[in-house]
Amino acid sequence: MSSVFSLPPTLSGLRNYVDGEFVESSKTFDNVSPLNGRVLAKVHEADEALVDRAVRSARRAVEGAWGRTNVQERAKVLHAVADGIERRFDEFLAAEIADTGRPLEQARSLDVYRGIANFRTFADLGKVAHGDYFETFLPDGTKLLNHTLRKPLGVVASISPWNLPLLSLTWKAAPVLICGNAIVCKPSEETPSSATLLAEVFHEAGVPAGVFNVVHGFGPGSAGEALTRHPGIDAVTFTGESRTGAAIMKAAADGVKDISFELGGKNAAVVFADADFDAAVEGVIRSSFTNSGQVCLCSERVYVERPIFDRFIAAMKARTEALKIGWPDEPGVFMGSLISREHREKVLSYYRLAVEEGATVVTGGGVPVFGDERDDGAFVQPTIWTGLPDTARCMIEEVFGPVCHISPFDSEDEVIRRVNDTAYGLASSVWTTNLSRAHRVTPRLSVGIVWVNTWFSRDLRTPFGGTRLSGIGREGGRYSLDFYSETTNVCIKV
């Protein structure tokens, strides 16, 4: 098969969407396909003046008619946007695949599906969310009624990563908008297409100018930094690397802006000897290699109880070597490319470092050779290591590629200590058929999300986020609604 995935026709030049208009700029950069290295489109980079225009337009929207809409009206807008994504489903699919090189089936069942679900979920949740109500009695019998009001926070900046572009952006935009705010989004420079297509959907849905804006560009010295430093921004919601989070926190500090951060991870999967063996192998294959390991929730550390360790390694090796890598639409394909050649160089540097640090390479460790244009893309082999001490750099630093290290363990206390011995704290998965053990172990893991006998199952009403270097705050359900609104308590003497 020699399919080359290209962008939908309206995305032949990727423009900014500011104040209800598609805006070009004099400076452009290339959007490159990671499948074969070809240039997909020119992206118009927003300069400081255009970012400023976007923020001012968003401010006018919040202080104008949009800020005075009620939640029922906003819910209709969110459903109209979801309808628009549904109508243009195949174009979103093409945009996500062209930018990321991921398998079609994943883009369909995860990325575009979640783009729609994020808008529908928050449209419905916003309508049922309500504040607190307390009755207070003073010593003389006077009664006070307290109720809380939720108001828009203002103008929110969303800075999103490349690994799940549409999912991450809509995960922020939907709750921002249902709360009556306006948003300026900066998608990753690596994945500008689905955000631009989403702007087309907002435009077609007749959403007022300024409510939803997209600015393209990079981080430092470009649109990202200009946005996070802008005094007209009230809150920054960011998903990306922990180091970038630290830089954004500094930029946001001057304006004392609210921040919500979803950052990196070095997540662990723990497989007890009493686990359903086959389910655990399949689960760890998914949790280590989905999206070529480029999901913040992926398990790069796997701990397996010693009695099943050798059997587990053998099964993981066989399953990994059977995974199909290739074009996104090839039947049975499990892994596409990484996001870029540059990222592949980072992943391969860890493949080399692991060997220097004394790892045994169970499988993988290199680059697949196809003998066609994919050799100019950014593919890597899924890789399994064993034999590293927990202190090795490959056991401490986030690789963000299709790789896991598998270590044996002997007791619950030992494995809990080792899982927690990291600067991150995003997610863990525990594989066991012992219910008591599941309840004993899960509260002791220092992470924001724990799955038992599954991975990446998401109910959008549940809190999502990490501890320590993995983030600040939680989003999801009422946690998003709390973050994206200002709360005012009204106390009335009766």
Are 114 and 171 in contact, with CB atoms under 8 Å apart?
yes
Least distance to ligand 6OD, CB of residue 86, Å: 19
Residue 144 phi/psi, 5° resolution? -120, 135
Taking CB under 6 A as the criterion, the residue among 119, 202, 212, 464 binding ligand 6OD is 464
Could you tell which of ligand 6OD, ligand NAD, none binds residue 244, using a CB distance below 5 to 8 A set by kind? Answer: ligand NAD
Give the residues across from 267 on adjacent strands. 299
User: In whole angstroms, what is the distance from residue 97 CA to residue 171 CA?
Assistant: 19
Q: Which is nearer to ligand NAD, 295 or 302 (CB)?
A: 295
Edge-to-edge strand order for the sheet containing 13-14? 13-14, 39-44, 28-32
Give whichever of 462 and 489 is closer to ligand 6OD, judged by the CB atom. 462
- Classify strands 155-159 and 182-186 as parallel, antiparallel or unpaired: parallel
Options 45, 189, 225, 296, the catalytic residue: 296
Specify the residue, 182 or 297, whose C-beta has the smaller distance to ligand 6OD. Answer: 297
Q: Judged by CB under 6 A, does residue 295 bind ligand 6OD?
A: yes
- Structure tokens, 66: 């949009």
262 is catalytic: yes
Residue nearest to ligand 6OD (CB): 296
Question: For the packed helices 165-178 and 193-204, what is the interaxial angle rounded to 10 degrees?
Answer: 40
Among 262, 300, 305, 398, the active-site one is: 262
DSSP string of 137-174, one letter each residue: E-TT--EEEEEEEEEE--EEEEE--SSSHHHHHHHHHH
Q: Is there binding between residue 458 and ligand 6OD (CB under 6 A)?
A: yes
Is 297 among the residues that bind ligand 6OD (CB under 6 A)?
yes
What the block records as the tokens of 367 is: 């680059």
- CB 167, min distance to ligand 6OD, A: 6
CA distance 388 to 353: 11
Of the candidate residues 43, 177, 296, 388, the single one contacting ligand 6OD (CB under 6 A): 296
Query: How far are the Cα atoms of 17, 45, 196, 299, 300 from residue 178, in angstroms, in the given order?
Result: 20, 28, 20, 33, 36
User: Minimum CB separation from ligand NAD for residue 231, in Å?
Assistant: 15
164 binds ligand 6OD (CB under 6 A): yes
- Rounded to whole angstroms, what are the CA distances from 89 to 80, 116, 170, 177? 14, 9, 15, 22
Task: Note the residues at the interface with ligand NAD (CB under 6 A).
Answer: 159-163, 168, 186, 188-189, 218-220, 224-225, 228, 239-241, 244, 247-248, 262-265, 296, 398, 400, 426, 466, 470-471
Binding string, residues 169-208; x marks residues near ligand 6OD by CB under 6 A: --x-------------------------------------
Do residues 206 and 235 touch, judged by C-beta distance below 8 A?
no
458 binds, among ligand 6OD, ligand NAD, none (CB under 5 to 8 A by kind): ligand 6OD
Residue 171 binding result from ligand 6OD, ligand NAD, none, given CB thresholds of 5 to 8 Å by partner type: ligand 6OD
Alpha helix (H) ranges present in 132-272? Answer: 165-178, 193-204, 223-229, 242-253
Per partner kind, with CB cut-offs from 5 to 8 A, the member of ligand 6OD, ligand NAD, none near residue 260 is none
Which residues of this chain interact with ligand 6OD, rule CB under 6 A? Answer: 163-164, 168, 171, 295-297, 458, 464
Catalytic residues: 262, 296
